[in-house]
């Protein structure tokens, strides 16, 4: 592609740093951070669900042990 063609790399590359390139990079960074935050929130939710499940299992084990001692 020649310089100026649609989709052609800009002269100076990423080092040029015009306002559009900076804004585009900032938008991409923001998007990535948002997606990472969503993933972290989902992981935290799954951890809490697993903690609750483990507590239920622990209670069940304790009840079973108490019944076995009778």
Give residue 39's pLDDT: 98
Minimal CA–CA distance to 9: which of 32, 26, 18? 18
Give the pLDDT score at 40: 98
| Angle, CA 26 vertex, CA 25 and CA 27 arms, to 5° | 90
C-alpha to C-alpha distance for 15 and 3, rounded to whole angstroms: 16
Choose among 37, 16, 4: nearest CA to 25: 16
Give the pLDDT confidence score for residue 1 in this predicted structure: 57
pLDDT tens per residue across all 70 residues of the chain: 566 566 666 665 555 568 989 999 999 999 999 999 999 999 999 999 999 999 999 999 999 999 987 6
């Amino acid at each position: 592609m020649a310089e100026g063609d649609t989709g052609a790399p800009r002269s100076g590359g990423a080092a040029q740093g015009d306002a559009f390139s900076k804004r585009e990079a900032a938008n991409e960074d923001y998007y990535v951070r948002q997606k990472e935050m969503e993933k972290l929130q989902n992981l935290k939710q799954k951890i809490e669900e697993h903690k609750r499940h483990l507590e239920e299992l622990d209670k069940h084990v304790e009840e079973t042990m108490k019944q076995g001692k009778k």
